Amino acid sequence: MKQLRKSMVAVAVLGMTLTGAVGVYAGANLEKISAYLNHSIGIKVEGTAYNTGGKLTPITYKNTTYLPVRAIADVLNVPVQYDAKNNQVLIGSHSGNGQTSELTTVKYSDAQLKEIKSAFAKFDGFTTPYAPNQMIQGDVYQKTGTSEDGVNMVFKHMTVYISPRDYSHGYDSTPVTLSNGTKAKWYTPDDTAMLGFQFHDRYVTISSPDHSLSKAQLEKVAVSVAQVK
């Protein structure tokens, strides 16, 4: 699998799929080319077809096919970030910019805990509060809000949505077993992959809207979801 990762990453290109990349590449470093979005090419890893969601299409240019870094990183569970300061695509857990896959404890303040508990208290029969106890180093808890049928916890690099509803219904999904044995599944309703799983009497959905966290990182965080005391 390591050799597979090396060979696939070697042929992957950014393809402007990382947040903030377009602005950085504009100007003198931007060279105009004539290429083709190749919708006939799919991605298969170790015999299993991988669905990029339809928005990350391979590009063919001068008889060479280029694959989007974000899609390849997700299927291989390899973290990928964009370092705007140094104009670099960073692949792997230790890519030289301090990014890591290590977990750190989320230290909620008393005010934040009150906010979380108040959000869950708005729902009859759904008042027991839950939240992730850990996050990836470098992430920051920001706020908690509510929607019509759930509670949305917003971090700098991820969102955690908890609801009695399974939002993965109707979408193609890929099953995965978390490290604690929980059965979960990945699905992609748009260009952001969602990790969903049932936890007691509700469903948890975790994603990284800014695409800075990999699937492997989000799976680590998912294991830490627990009742708020």
Average pLDDT in the chain: 80
Residue 149 has pLDDT above 80, yes or no: yes
Residue 61: the pLDDT is 87
pLDDT of residue 218: 94
Q: Give the domain ranges of the chain.
A: 36-91, 103-227
pLDDT of residue 197: 96
Record: fold of 103-227:
Jelly Rolls (2.60.120)
Phi (first) and psi of residue 126, to 5 degrees: -140, 30
Identify the residue with better confidence: 217 or 70: 217
User: Can you tell me the distance from the alpha carbon of 93 to that of 225, in angstroms, rounded to the nearest whole number?
Assistant: 22
Mean pLDDT of 201-212: 92
| pLDDT digits 0-9 by tens, 173-195 | 999 999 999 999 999 988 899 99
Average pLDDT for residues 81-109, to the nearest whole number? 70
pLDDT, mean of residues 156-173:
92
Q: In the prediction, which pLDDT does 21 show?
A: 45
Mean pLDDT, rounded, for 53-81: 75
> What's the pLDDT score for residue 67?
80
Contacts of 197 (CB under 8 A, 6+ apart): 178, 182, 183, 184, 185, 203, 204, 222
Instruction: Find the mean pLDDT for residues 16-22.
Output: 42
Q: What's the pTM value of the predicted model, to 2 decimals?
A: 0.62
pLDDT tens for 20-48 read 444 444 556 778 888 888 888 777 776 77
User: What average pLDDT does the segment 38-64 reach?
Assistant: 75
pLDDT at 97 over 60: no
Q: Sheet harboring 183-187: ordered strands across? A: 141-146, 151-155, 159-163, 202-207, 194-199, 183-187, 173-177
pLDDT higher for 62 or 141? 141
The pLDDT score that the predictor gives to residue 45 is 72
Name 186's bridge partners.
174, 195
